[in-house]
Each structure stands twice: as C-alpha cells, then as structure tokens.
Amino acid sequence: MARSQTQRKFVEVVERPDKLALVLEGDWTINNAGELEREVQSVAQRLDDKPLEIAEDRIEKLDTSGAFLLKRLLRGDAKSLSRQPQRELFDFVPAAVDHKPPEETRARSLRAGFESIGRATFLVLEFSWEIFVFIGRVAASFFRNFLHPSRFRFPSMVRHVDETGLRALPLIGLLAVLISMVITYQGAVQLRKFGATIYTIDLTVISILREMGVLITAIMVAGRSGSAFAAEIGTMQLREEVNALRTMGKDPIAILVVPRVIALVIALPILAFLADVIGLAGGGLMSLSLLHISFPQYVSRVEDVATLQVFFVGMLKAPVFAFVIAIIGCYQGLHVTGSAESVGKRTTLAVVQSVFVVIMADALFSVVFSMVDL
C-alpha cells in the first residue's frame, strides 16, 4: 500500500564515496512543519563535513516555513540548490538561530553594587541637567512673550486655571478639613495629659499654615494636574502634533508649556490659601466638639497665633511647588516616544518625581527658614 503524505519521508540520504546526496520531496509547507522539523533534526545529526548534493526536483510546494527548515538542513548554503524560485525563497528567510538557555545568575558582587549606584547617580545628574536646560528654554520663551504680551495664550491659561484650580477645590477642601481634624484630635489627646489642651489650637494653626496646608495641596495637584500635563502633551507627542507645530514654525514650549506653568503658578497659591482657610474651619469644629471652646474664642486664639509671618512662610512655598510640578509634568510629556506604554511610564514618572521634589523642597525651605529665624 502506498504511504500517505504524512507517512512518507521528506528527506532521503544517499551516501556516495565523495559526497552525500539529499533527495527532497513532498510539500515543505506549514502544514507539515512538525514532521519536517523532526526529520530535519534527525537527518542533520547524520551529516558530516562531506559536500552535499541536493535533488529538490521532487519538492511539490515550498513556503517560508519549509524554506526555514531547509536552510537549517543545508547550514545556510544555497549553492547546491538548482531551482531559482527555491533559491530566492531560501535567501529571503532568516538564518536559523541556536537558542541557548539563559545563564545562571550569579550573586551580585560588591563591584556590581557600586556600579549600580554609580549608574543611578549618573542618571540623576543627567536628569537634573536636562531639567535645568528645560527651565532655561521655558524662561527664554516666557521673556520673549513678556516683551510682546499679545503672544501669551490667555484663553489657554484661563482653561488651565479652571482645570487645575477651580475643579480641584472640592477635593483639596475635603482633604484640608480631614487633615486639620486629625491634627486637632491627636494634639488634644496628647496635650490633655499635660493639662495644656488650649495649645491644641496653636498646634493646628501653625501646622496648617506653615506646612500641611500647602504641602498637601501641592501633593494632590502633582497627582492630579502634573499627571494630566504629562499625559496630554505625551499624547500630542505620540500623534506627531508637537512635530506639526515645529513644522509650522511654532514654538511648542510657548504654546504648550508656558500657559500651563503660568496657570499652575496662579492656581496653586489660591488653592493653598483656600486650604488654609478650610483647614482652620475644620480645626474650629473639632475644637468645639473636643475642647468645648466656642467659635469666638477659637477665632480670637487663631488671631493671636496666625501672624503674617506664619502665613507667608507657607504661602511663599506655593509658587515654587507649582513651578516644579508644571515643569516636571511638561518635561516628561515632551519626552514621550514610541507607544502608549511610554505615555504611561512618563506620566508615572511625572507624579513620582514631582512629589519627591516637592517634599525635598519643603525640607529645604524648613531648614532655610529655621536658619533665618522665621
């Protein structure tokens, strides 16, 4: 009985004194790829360094998968093929690659640890330099527009003030109330042990006005607006809209970055001020319920503690935090490349770096204000 297509051999080896002859037949296609690969592996083990003579006249069909296996069998040598169509397809497919198992990971040495620290330090220095250059470009664009005020994109600024400021107010207000209540409650519990519960108001006022009001606001704005800046500009970069602006002779910094920076520098101090006011109101409610201090007494105590110095120490931080958040968000957005995955990574970096720099800047402010007795 004649053997079926799946049972017959695709390669037959004929040994001759000075060479080996390979007789190829059948359909070398994807449908027979499994059987072909097993037979090619079996035949390849029998071959030595003798010259090969190929008889491929009996090949009925040949596609890329069959040509790939044929190339593995012939060790990449197409000289022995006589039919031109088969040689062209043979040359088209890539060479077979021997896949090696991954090497076992060795324990990290002390040198490798120092190398990773040095590499991370270099990346931090490189990022700092790029941010410094980016700030210079933004400043140059701002002053060019400052000499010609009509170039400022006021509708864009108003829109960003609305998105970063007014629409964020409910969330910022809620957080301010909750933070002030927590500070008042914890302060009252601890100070009651020493009979100094009246100083709970001082603790709440100073904490809200100097640190927590502006810091919590900046962190929330970094997560809300900084990520939005990076995602919006990153999507425009991905869709080649930024390159289109350059093609039209427009400056992307002036159109995309400067309005966002100005808007956030305006919106964040306003949000910080409202957070201070709402936080003090929350502290008053908590003092009324915990300390049984009437609202007029609370206001009188706040007037004694909340001096202009305490207020402005906190408010001076707000424009700096806003500038940092806007710069990092826009910088990461303009450096999106390639894919939607890059947008996600750059957006995450914008939030993480903004929050980190804001907290670090707040610590520096605290040290400087302490040194000058503020």
Taking only the tens place, the pLDDT of each residue in 93-150 is 665 554 455 555 555 677 888 888 888 899 889 888 989 999 999 999 888 888 888 8
Q: Which residues pair with 54 in a beta bridge?
A: 22
* DSSP helix/strand/coil, 54: strand
Measured between alpha carbons, how far is 81 from 106 in angstroms, rounded to an integer?
Answer: 46
Mean pLDDT computed over 286-298: 82
Considering only residues 279 and 373, tell me which one the structure prediction assigns the higher pLDDT. 279
Measured between alpha carbons, how far is 366 from 264 in angstroms, rounded to an integer?
Answer: 23
Cα-based torsion angle of the residue sequence 208, 214, 215, 220 in order, rounded to the nearest 10 degrees: 120
Contact 210, 314 (CB under 8 A): yes
Q: For residue range 351-370, what is the model confidence (pLDDT) as tens digits?
A: 999 999 999 999 999 899 88
Other CB atoms within a 10 A radius of the CB of residue 350 amount to 29
Q: Where in the chain is the domain with CATH 3.30.750.24?
A: 11-92
pLDDT at residue 6 greater than cutoff 50: no
What is the band of 8 on the pLDDT scale with cuts at 50, 70, 90?
Answer: low
Measured between alpha carbons, how far is 306 from 206 in angstroms, rounded to an integer?
Answer: 7
- What are the tokens at 91? 């040359």
**CATH label, 11-92, candidates 3.90.76.10, 3.40.430.10, 3.30.750.24, 3.20.20.140:** 3.30.750.24
Q: For residue range 33-43, what is the model confidence (pLDDT) as tens digits?
A: 777 777 777 77
> Residue 7: phi, psi to the nearest 5?
-100, -20
Measured between alpha carbons, how far is 344 from 55 in angstroms, rounded to an integer?
Answer: 56
What is the band of 217 on the pLDDT scale with cuts at 50, 70, 90?
Answer: very high
Cα-based torsion angle of the residue sequence 352, 354, 360, 363 in order, rounded to the nearest 10 degrees: -120
pLDDT of 1 = 39
Task: Express as a percent the part of the chain with pLDDT over 70.
Answer: 83
pLDDT of 248 = 87
pLDDT of 95 = 59
pLDDT of 78 = 55
Measured between alpha carbons, how far is 39 from 85 in angstroms, rounded to an integer?
Answer: 23
pLDDT at residue 291 greater than cutoff 60: yes
Measured between alpha carbons, how far is 161 from 199 in angstroms, rounded to an integer?
Answer: 37
pLDDT of 261 = 93
pLDDT at residue 91 greater than cutoff 50: yes
Mean pLDDT computed over 223-251: 89
- What are the tokens at 198? 């009246």
pLDDT at residue 262 greater than cutoff 70: yes
